[in-house]
């Protein structure tokens, strides 16, 4: 059951990613992105990380996707304004290079079987130790308190940057 679900999720996410990068209209691409983020959230759930799955939906679905949709609306490109795309040869060679990258990565993974070969370790039943909000929160406020603070710095910097670049009048 678990395997079937994984395969299904993998197929859906790969398909949506492929559609994303091939759709001409960015609006369709954004919709594909939504599907991809959703399947990723489900995969996180399968990986016993409910908190992160929730965050995935909130951050990606709520923030990132919305940003993209707003921008698409702001630009308001008509289909005829989309412009031309790269030539077929360029796309083909890009595809080949990307495929080679995937093969290399898979190669690296498969040749490290002694480490990655097995299935995931069993988590003690009923415990919320691994992927729960408590356990992640504990990490955030203990060992990773500095990164957590730095995230806030990062977001302030990003907001400042975004404002200064886009505000009409300063």
Q: Hey, which residues between 3 and 22 contact another protein (CB under 8 A)?
A: 3-7, 10, 13-14, 17-18, 20-21
Instruction: Give the closest residue to 19 by CA, choosing from 4, 40, 33.
Output: 33
Q: Hey, which residues between 125 and 154 contact another protein (CB under 8 A)?
A: 130-131, 135-136, 138-140, 142-147, 150-151, 153-154
Q: Write the CA distances from 111 to 33, 104, 105, integer angstroms.
A: 31, 10, 10
Q: Hey, which residues between 36 and 75 contact another protein (CB under 8 A)?
A: 36-37, 40, 43-44, 46-49, 51-52, 55-56, 59-60, 63-64, 67-68, 71-72, 74-75
- Least distance from C-beta 55 to another protein, angstroms? 6
Residues 6+ apart with CB under 8 A from 57: 37, 38, 41
- Least distance from C-beta 126 to another protein, angstroms? 15
Measured from the Cβ of residue 17, the count of other Cβ atoms closer than 10 Å reads: 15
Distance CA 74, CA 166 (A): 12
Instruction: Give the closest residue to 162 by CA, choosing from 63, 90, 85.
Output: 63
User: Any contact of residue 79 with another protein (CB under 8 A)?
Assistant: no
Q: Hey, which residues between 83 and 122 contact another protein (CB under 8 A)?
A: 83-86, 90-91, 93-95, 97-102, 104-121
Task: For another protein, give the closer residue by CB, 120 or 125.
Answer: 120
């Amino acid at each position: 059951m678990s395997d079937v679900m994984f395969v299904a999720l993998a197929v859906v996410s790969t398909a949506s990613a492929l559609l994303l990068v091939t759709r001409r209209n960015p609006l369709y691409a954004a919709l594909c992105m939504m599907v991809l983020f959703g399947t990723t959230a489900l995969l996180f759930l399968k990986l016993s990380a409910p908190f992160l799955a929730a965050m995935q939906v909130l951050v990606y679905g709520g923030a990132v996707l919305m940003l993209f949709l707003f921008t698409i609306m702001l630009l308001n490109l008509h289909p005829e304004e989309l412009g031309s795309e790269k030539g077929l040869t360029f796309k083909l060679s890009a595809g080949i290079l990307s495929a080679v990258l995937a093969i290399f990565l898979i190669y690296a993974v498969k040749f490290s079987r002694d480490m990655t070969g097995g299935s995931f370790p069993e988590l003690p039943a009923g415990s919320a130790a691994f992927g729960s909000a408590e356990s992640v929160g504990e990490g955030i406020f203990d060992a990773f308190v500095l990164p957590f603070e730095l995230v806030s710095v990062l977001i302030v910097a990003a907001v400042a940057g975004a404002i200064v670049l886009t505000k009409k009048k300063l």
